[in-house]
Amino acid sequence: MNTLPSAITLCEVGLRDGLQNEKTILPTREKIELLRGLIDAGFKVIEVGSFMHPKAVPQMADTDEIYKAVGQVPGVELRALIPNLRGVQRAVDCGCKKVKLNVSASRQHNLKNLNMTPEESVAGFAQCVQAAGEHGIAISGSISMPFGSPWDGRIPLADVESIIEAYLNVGITEISLSDTSGMAVPNQVYQMCEHVAGKYPQVSWWLHFHNTRGLAIANIMAAMEAGMTQFDTSFGGLGGCPFVPNAAGNISTEDVLNMCEESGIETGVDCAKIMELSKRVRDLLNHDLDSYVLRAGRAKDLILSHQ
């Protein structure tokens, strides 16, 4: 029997990966309140937004303002996604201390969009790493679609390893495996996680699962059984990917919190507070969210209500 960890770390990505796909653009003050609510609920890692070009992702145009308003929070890592060296400069200017780069594991997708292989893209990040280091900014890397892409099908493990090694070559040792296409299945997740954790012990791993085909929570369980302890989640299950056909949102934060509570796995995050926050997001966006726990309540609330 594979053992589950006694505690895991969650990164809330709803403010970035969730809201960037919404037609409704929330006012900056609302985002700041949501961020403060996440901090109050106990999150130690939060993805605040991204420094993409405002024309490309208008929902994230105010990320700089949010950082300036909230400032540094002791014991909490507030990170942002960046596309390039300009993103590092914006991070410097607004006081962001952690940035994340991303590359697609899909060779076809990368060649078609950037005219480069994934490895060439990562090699080009060397300038970003240097600039971040000079300004005391921590930097991590993400590999999107390592489990499978609509363009290539299942990605060979050797291709994923090649990208991991490209990240290590530019000095990045925190890497996220990000199932943006929602094509991962639990036995594949277990095998890949066990393999990379054993082969690259110097890497701090994150897992990011979309619930496109209802397998995200099973994939998290498989990753935990393989020894992984850091996961991205999104309030209300918000999210998607504008570049992947029919991509649904991330796994809902409150669904993962409920599972962990019932399984005796510590997260340090208050599920009841996150449920209230997700209800607020639902009202602000004026549509239902993809969250089981928001609809049904926590298992322990059900028991209390019948006593």
Q: Which residues are the active-site residues?
A: 241
Rounded Cα distance, 70 and 65, in Å = 9
Q: What is the DSSP string of 196-259?
A: HHHH-TT-EEEEEEB-TTS-HHHHHHHHHHTT--EEEEBGGG----TTSTT---BPBHHHHHHH
Sequence-ordered alpha helix ranges (H) in 27-151 = 28-41, 63-70, 85-94, 107-114, 118-123, 126-134
Please give the single-letter amino acid code of residue 242.
P
Residues in Cβ contact with 39 at an 8 Å cutoff, skipping those fewer than 6 apart: 46, 73, 76
Residues in Cβ contact with 158 at an 8 Å cutoff, skipping those fewer than 6 apart: none
Do 289 and 252 form a contact (C-beta atoms < 8 A)?
yes
CB count in 10 Å sphere of residue 212: 21
Rounded Cα distance, 97 and 105, in Å = 26
